[in-house]
Structure 1
Amino acid sequence: MTYCVAIRLDSGLVFLSDSRTNAGVDQVSTFRKMTVFENPGDRMMVLMTAGNLSISQSVRQMLNHPASTGGRSIWTANSMDEAAQIVGDAVRAVYERDARSLREFGIDFNVSLVFGGQINGERCRLFQIYSAGNFIEAQNEASYFQIGEAKYGKPIIDRVITPATSLDEAAKCALISMDSTLKSNVSVGLPLDLLIYEKDSLAVTRFVTIDEKNQYFQMIRDTWGQQLKRVFESIDDPVWNAAPDAQTNVLSTSAVRNQPVRMAPPQNIANVDPHPAPLQTLAQQNRSRQQH
């Protein structure tokens, strides 16, 4: 599986991807899922992929062969929207070629992509492209995309990221999002690729491949876990059956008696004592026999 996240900000773009493709008891492999299409001074575009690896590899190769996508090329597209259409066309072309054969072997045509960047003369843009080749674009109200194992790393992004967030803070947030995913899902794994793009630079600004020895990511992993535990412990426990006028940490009150949905016991055991005597230890049983 995989986890990739991309964030569009007022100041640029952040891309982060893992590299795990298989995760089984005896099969763990890696493949880098981020590809950069860069012509400095003219355009900088990033493609991240999730899903069937053979499909995503085929799409990536088609993008470097304009004849395979109707003669159009992301290298000459006039806008990021046109470039996203070309990526979608490549997905459809791979579907036309391979989907039937895959289906005969019980394999779904499964691929999802995040594609973003900037072409000279327009703003930074970010797209998510689906298996059908259609796509949506990130807006200020929803300024990031995730593909793969997205659920574990989503809460921190929802709480932190706004269009005004700085690139470094967004990178930190993306790494915490990735750490949460790594913690909860073995199908996502190191190394990671992190790319930071400053708007209007039209070239890769900062890039790093992160492995288990990376000092900053290790600090993130240790500190985030410790801080989460500290915040958790600082939150008061709930108060049950509080007085009706209580105002603090009230989970339930004595004035309102909620009841669960109960199933009635069968008639043949309905009269069993609902409060049976507590279980005795072997020593207690021996003492009881001696007393009698």
Structure 2
Amino acid sequence: MTYCVGLKLDRGLVFMSDTRTNAGVDNISTFKKMYTWSKPGDRVITLLSAGNLATTQTVISILNERTKIPSERAPSIFDMPSMFQTARLIGDTIKSVIHDVDSDGQRADSFGASIILGGQIKGGEPRLFLIYPEGNFIESSPDTPFFQIGEHKYGKPIIVRSYDPAMTFEEATKLLFVSFDSTLKSNLSVGLPLDMQFYEVDTLKLGFQKRIERNDPYYEAISEGWSQALKLAFQSLPTFKMD
């Protein structure tokens, strides 16, 4: 399983993903789920993936190959004039990969994948998309300023309650740490380390990046502090009276 979040702020974009994949309780591995393509001064594009690992790795490999050997029939991510066209390209790639699996007589629904795509291309604004296995996609809006893929139900409430588009990258980090901590404590199929990345509006270059390893002091402080805060909040609620 997986948990990934793409968050849009006034200041830019924030991405976070876990790295755990598993095919059973005794077969747990760590795989990167965050990928970035960058040409300083021109574009920064980040992709978060969830779903069948073979499908997502094939999609990433195809996109990487096209950056080295582009053609008119198979354009590169670096050739796309806008983030919208980039989302279309990636959607078509996912659909094609899953269709090939289906053509081989295998169940396509077992090879599904979902993708969060975000970034900025020179001449346009930062944009954030959620791309479905069928290749279609939706874009973030003021009403839907973030996307989650994978095991998202445990980490969603804190984002919904506390998100503010004006928050700083540091505040967004604290928010996502709480969201991921809630998910990790509720589902063993999501796990550390976590990958985190910021993109600041109009910089057209990679921002801050970090891998949050086990025993990270700040993550541990957030995890313990949130647990204590929840206990105190619960104790402060009015007591039920049986009349």
TM-score, normalised via structure 2 length: 0.94
Letter in 1 for 2:172: A
* Cα displacement (A) at 1:96: 2.3
Letter in structure 2 aligned against 1:80: M
**Any gaps of 5 or more consecutive residues in structure 1?**
242-292
How many pairs align? 240
2:98 aligned with 1:95: yes
Cα shift at 1:136: 0.3
Displaced runs of 4+ in structure 1, greater than 6 A?
Answer: none
Partner of 2:141: 139
Q: Is the 8 A contact 1:23 1:187 kept in 2?
A: no
Selected match of 2:120 from 103, 118, 121: 118
The one-letter amino acid of 1:109's match is F
The 1-side partners of 2:15 and 2:71 are apart by 27
For residue 13 of structure 1, give the secondary structure of its aligned residue in structure 2.
Answer: strand
Separation in structure 2 between the aligned mates of residue 139 and residue 239 of structure 1, nearest angstrom: 43
Q: How does 1:24-173 map to 2 (within 5 A)?
A: 24-66=24-66, 70-101=73-104, 103=106, 108-173=110-175
Return the alpha-carbon distance in structure 2 between the equivalents of residues 36 and 142 of structure 1. 23
8 Å contact from structure 2 (residues 98, 112) kept in 1: no
User: Which structure has the bigger radius of gyration?
Assistant: 1
Q: In structure 2, what is the equivalent of residue 280 of structure 1?
A: none
In structure 2, do the counterparts of structure 1 residues 102 and 204 end up closer, same or farther at CA, with 3 Å as the change threshold? farther
Q: Does 1:2 find its partner at 2:8?
A: no
Instruction: Report the CA distance shift for 1:83/1:158 in structure 2 as closer, same or farther (over 3 A).
Output: same
**C-alpha distance in 2, partners of 1:59/1:234?**
50
TM-score relative to the length of structure 1: 0.79
Partner of 1:176: 178
Cα distance in 2 between the residues matched to 1:74 and 1:82: 9
Counterpart amino acid of residue 153 in structure 2: K
Alpha-carbon distance in 2 for matches of 1:133, 1:78: 19
* Deviation at residue 87 of structure 1 after TM alignment: 0.4
Query: Can you list the C-alpha shifts for 1:30-80, whole angstroms capped at 9, x where unaligned?
Result: 101000111111111100000000000111111123368932221111110
Q: Secondary structure at the match of 2:79?
A: coil
CA deviation after TM superposition for structure 1 residue 16, in Å = 0.3
Q: Distance in 2 between matches of 1:102 and 1:186?
A: 32
Q: Is contact 1:2-1:19 (8 Å) kept? A: yes
Q: Give the Å deviation of 1:213.
A: 2.2
Structure 2 distance, partners of 1:58, 1:68, is 19
Query: Which AA in structure 2 matches 1:195?
Result: Q
Q: Which has the higher contact order (CA 8 A, sep 6+)?
A: 2
Counterpart-to-counterpart distance in 2, 1:78 and 1:212: 40
Residue identity matched to 1:64: N
Q: CA RMSD in A?
A: 1.7
Q: CA deviation at 1:200?
A: 1.0
Alpha-carbon distance in 2 for matches of 1:130, 1:148:
12
SS at match of 1:219: helix
Measured against aligned partners, the alpha-carbon deviations of 1:63-109 in whole angstroms (never above 9, x if no partner) come to 123368932221111110011101001111102211233625x8623
Change (3 A) 1:25 1:109: closer
Q: Secondary structure at the match of 2:123?
A: coil
Residues 23 and 95 of structure 1: CA distance in aligned 2, closer, same or farther (over 3 Å)? closer
Whether 1:198 and 2:200 are equivalent positions in the alignment is yes
Query: Which amino acid is the alignment partner of residue 86 of structure 1?
Result: L
Distance 1:62 1:23 in 2: 24
Relative distance call for 1:69 and 1:158 in structure 2 (3 A) is: farther
Counterpart-to-counterpart distance in 1, 2:104 and 2:242: 60
SS of residue matched to 1:126: strand
- What residue identity is the alignment partner of 1:49? S
Report which stretch shifted further, 121-130 or 163-172.
163-172
